[in-house]
């Protein structure tokens, strides 16, 4: 039996309300952690908040890869990043100007650009991301997080 339209609408409204409430809790909690531990808010945003908001994406990508739907897995990751940079930043900055810390330009913008450059040869070699290349990408992320945690390069 198909679900009634009104019930679907209720689910959508409740889901959106939970999403907005959860996002507020995530941001407030991350700022609280940053202040109590003495870590800068940009570092918390680039690590804890980024990981927290990407866990559903990680789960969806892992399931797609496990089921051998590799185009869905790669498309999900690339599409999400394009969506975040262009649509999310664009829409948010239309709502209110988004000033940002200079360290984003000094360090993280270049890391993001470098990650894109590293990804090109990984993706075009046999049109396949091998386990070894995946391990390399994971290690690069761990180095990035460790450098943020130690303050190296900041």
> Would you give per-residue pLDDT tens digits along the chain (154 residues)?
567 888 889 998 998 888 888 888 888 888 888 888 888 777 888 887 787 778 788 888 888 888 988 888 888 888 888 998 899 999 999 999 998 888 888 888 899 999 999 988 888 887 788 889 889 999 999 998 888 877 776 6
In a domain, 57, yes or no: yes
pTM over 0.75: no
DSSP tally for the chain: helices H, then strands E: 8, 0
Burial grade of 135 (CB within 10 A; 0-12, 13-18, 19 or more): exposed
In a domain, 11, yes or no: no
- Tokens 């040869």, residue? 121
In a domain, 78, yes or no: yes
In a domain, 146, yes or no: yes
In a domain, 73, yes or no: yes
State the Cα angle at 53 between 48 and 86, rounded to 5°.
110
Tally of domains within the chain: 1
Structural domain that includes position 135 = 40-150
Residue 128 Rama label (left phi>0; alpha psi -120 to 50; beta) = beta
In a domain, 82, yes or no: yes
In a domain, 28, yes or no: no
């Amino acid at each position: 039996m198909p679900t009634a339209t009104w019930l679907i609408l209720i689910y959508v409204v409740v889901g959106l309300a939970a999403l907005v409430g959860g996002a507020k809790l995530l941001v407030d909690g991350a700022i609280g952690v940053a202040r109590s531990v003495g870590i800068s808010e940009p570092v918390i945003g680039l690590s804890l908040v980024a990981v927290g908001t990407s866990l559903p994406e990680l789960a969806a990508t892992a399931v797609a890869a496990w089921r051998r739907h590799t185009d869905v897995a790669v498309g999900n990751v690339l599409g999400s990043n394009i969506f975040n940079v262009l649509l999310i930043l664009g829409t948010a900055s239309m709502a209110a100007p988004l000033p940002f810390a200079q360290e984003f330009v000094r360090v993280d913008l270049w890391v993001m650009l470098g990650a894109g450059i590293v990804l090109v040869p990984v993706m075009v070699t046999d049109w396949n991301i091998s386990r070894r290349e995946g391990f390399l990408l994971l290690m690069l992320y761990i180095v990035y997080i460790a450098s943020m945690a130690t303050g190296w390069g900041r």
